[in-house]
Amino acid sequence: MDKWVVVTGAGRGIGLAIARELKNAGYKVAGFSRSTDPAEGVFDYYDKLDVSDFEAVKNFASKIEGEVWAIVNNAGITKDALFARMTEEDFDKVIAVNLKGVFNVCKAFEAKLRKSKGVIVNITSISGLYGNVGQANYAASKSALIGFTYTLAKEYGRYGVRAVAVAPGLIETDMSAKIPEKIKEQMKSMIPLKRFGKVEEVAKLVRFLISEDASYITGTCIEVAGGFRF
């Protein structure tokens, strides 16, 4: 298969698992992260750049020749604090990466996706659906991403391009490792499946969503959260 997929924030965690899953499914995989070196055997093209840098993303996109079948906007950060203590800098930074970064990538690839009648997958979060204490900036960025996804689905449906949001719950990664152990245990007890999710469980959903088996799925947000709703 000579179809390219692009995964952002592919250095580790969910992004790396998605890249690996899609490589195993036979796609050519392009990815980037801000600072991590590429995992061996996963990428056909890889670079280090900041997703919030419009020109850098545009330059990355220009390096990929051939059919771009899907983009998976996964790069994301948290800068958690209760709102009373949240700084302007931490608000702006989270919006710049989690929301503006997705704008940058979609802009850079939209013409290629129209050509391929491809798929956009945006990794949001259940925080964006239900809100979460300490995450006003993050939840705002992830809610906005859902509205952004629904809008692209409406604008691009006529070209055969699909856009889907994926909302993971609590997944075992470096990001969730920052949560204090005591709070993690409390959270687990509130998750219907009584455990955190695995990165592979998100990756398999993404593989399905970009496949022809999901050809009538667009403009929606699918939770992969073990039933958890903050």
The catalytic residues are 138
Phi, psi of 161 (to 5 degrees): -90, 130
Under the criterion CB under 6 A, does residue 143 sit at the interface with ligand NAD?
no
Query: Considering the rule CB under 6 A, would residue 36 count as an interface residue with ligand NAD?
Result: yes
Confirm or reject binding of residue 89 to ligand NAD (CB under 6 A).
no
State the DSSP string of 106-161. HHHHHHHHHHHT-EEEEE--HHHHH--TT-HHHHHHHHHHHHHHHHHHHHHGGGT-
19 near ligand NAD, rule: CB under 6 A: no
Identify residues 39-58 at the interface with ligand NAD (CB under 6 A). 50-52
Backbone dihedral angles phi then psi of residue 63, each to the nearest 5 degrees: -80, -15
- Does 176 bind ligand NAD (CB under 6 A)? Our answer is yes
Q: Using the 8-state DSSP alphabet, how is residue 72 labeled?
A: E
Length of the chain: 230
130, with CB counted inside 10 A (0-12, 13-18, 19+), is middle
Q: Does 179 bind ligand NAD (CB under 6 A)?
A: no
With beta carbons less than 8 A apart as the criterion, state whether 230 and 44 touch.
no
Residue 103 belongs to what H/E stretch?
helix 101-116
Residue 77 or 113: the one with the smaller Cβ distance to ligand NAD is 77
Choices 4-12, 21-29, 38-46, 204-212; region in contact with ligand NAD by CB under 6 A: 4-12
Q: Which of 5, 11, 23, 143 binds ligand NAD (CB under 6 A)?
A: 11
Q: Which of 29, 75, 206, 221 binds ligand NAD (CB under 6 A)?
A: 75
Interface with ligand NAD includes 171 (CB under 6 A)? yes
**Cβ proximity to ligand NAD, 74 vs 137, nearer residue:** 74
Task: List interacting residues with ligand NAD (CB under 6 A).
Answer: 9, 11-15, 33-36, 50-52, 74-77, 97, 123, 125, 168, 170-171, 173-176
